[in-house]
Amino acid sequence: MFRRALVPIAALGLVAALAAPAHAGSDSIPGTAGAGTVTGVAEPSRPAFYDPPATIPGTPGTIIRSEPATQWLDPLGFSNLTMSSTRVMYASKNRVGRPIAVTGTIFEPKAPWIGLSSRPLISFAPGTMGIADKCAPSRQLAESFTMYEILFMQGLLTRGYAVALTDYQGLGTPGTHTYMQRVAQGQAVLDIARAALKRSGTSLRSTTPVGFYGYSQGGGAAAAAAELAGSYAPELRVRGTVAGAVPADLGAVAKNLEGSFYAEFLNFALLGLAADNGIDMSGYLNEAGKQVARATEGHCVFDLAAGAFQNSSRLTLDGRKVPAYLGEAPFKGILAANRIGNLKPNAPVLVSQSLLDDVIPYAVGKQLAKAWCGKGTNVRFSTNVGPTHIGGAFPSSAESYAFFEARFAGLPQISNCWTIW
């Protein structure tokens, strides 16, 4: 018997995928009405706001519904004196272009904007929150104090920027969250920016300068948005992107996560990619792995201890560890399709990476910067020594303020591509 704490890592991801066709079905798309989870586990009932309509608009960025957003840390609504907070459900698209509903929250300061441009908008890509619907950033803001990135968002809001925070595909809405799916995450970031510009009563305009910010999962989503913006949302006036601890090479990250304290991140990724690709993994996992996958459907980032230091070979039928499967079909092709760095962003990028990151290897961040430099991107690669993956988030956020102020003022970024070897 395996204790629950010993089962998570591979099982989560591998197992999650395992029941995809049998339970979710190849046409069960996260973010659409009635979508099932990849493991077949029934999701807890959700607030009615998060249930998508039967028909989703085909125009990305269309607001399906909205309502005032409440915050658990501000039950009396004092923040409403200085900014508007709106929860939205908006139209986006999944990896293959099918319409999906995504939720999120849009914040806009009420004080008049004083600057050279119209009020800027930051499309904020959240870091790892988990897989369960209760982990959605918009729900955490309203139901608990666990939305840890509010600290980083506040720094942007105090500078007068509007901030649009996506929940991503399947996080809050029906179906398994497609964690680490490059295209879906990037499009969710782009489409909530579109939604923010269309919101009734907003001071934002079509000429609003836009920036993308994210760290960890959010770094990957922001980086993906930067790569996709020119083709998917060319009307957005993108001025720059800050991407920290970007999981640009999922294969390299998976090897680093195996057996580590953060092993559940690997479980989340396998679960999410399986949901997106409809993988049936029943021929890979043993019963312990299947149990973990089902349990993981209800996990948030604060459940990391459940998968800490897991040896994933104990979860597979043939006794191999999860990373061993990633060099074979179908996983090899999926990882290649989700690699970031193959497309050129259409605006300057600041890539931030800690030398001491224990989740995203330093070499992964550096290689992303080199890849973009090779395509002629204006890149500034910033190395910091923030202790561990968590510590690296603080210098990444701090650097973003000067970066965005300069970009929104129309100042050029001085690339340091020549220093990256």
Query: If pLDDT is split at 50, 70 and 90, which confidence band does 21 have?
Result: very low
pLDDT for the residue numbered 78: 58
Spatial CA neighbour of 321 closest among 11, 6, 2, 5: 11
Rounded distance between C-alpha atoms, residue 157 and residue 107, angstroms: 8
Tokens describing residue 80:
């409403």
Q: What is the arithmetic mean of pLDDT over 57-61?
A: 98
Tally of structural domains, the chain: 1
Q: Helices (H) and strands (E) in the chain — how many of each?
A: 14, 9
Amino acid in the structure at residue 210: V
| 259-285 tens-digit pLDDT | 999 999 998 998 899 899 988 766 777
First to last CA, the chain: 49
Q: What is the arithmetic mean of pLDDT over 125-153?
A: 95
pLDDT for the residue numbered 10: 31
What CATH code is carried by the domain that includes residue 376?
3.40.50.1820
Rounded distance between C-alpha atoms, residue 170 and residue 272, angstroms: 9
Ramachandran angles phi, psi of 54, nearest 5° = -65, -35
- pTM over 0.85, yes/no: yes
More confident residue, 22 or 156: 156
User: Does the pLDDT value for residue 52 go beyond 60?
Assistant: yes
User: Does the pLDDT value for residue 135 go beyond 90?
Assistant: yes
Element (H, E) at 328: none
Residue 255: domain span:
1-421
Query: If pLDDT is split at 50, 70 and 90, which confidence band does 76 have?
Result: low
Q: What percent of the chain has pLDDT over 90?
A: 77
Q: For residue 280, what are the CA distances in angstroms to 39, 176, 381?
A: 10, 15, 39
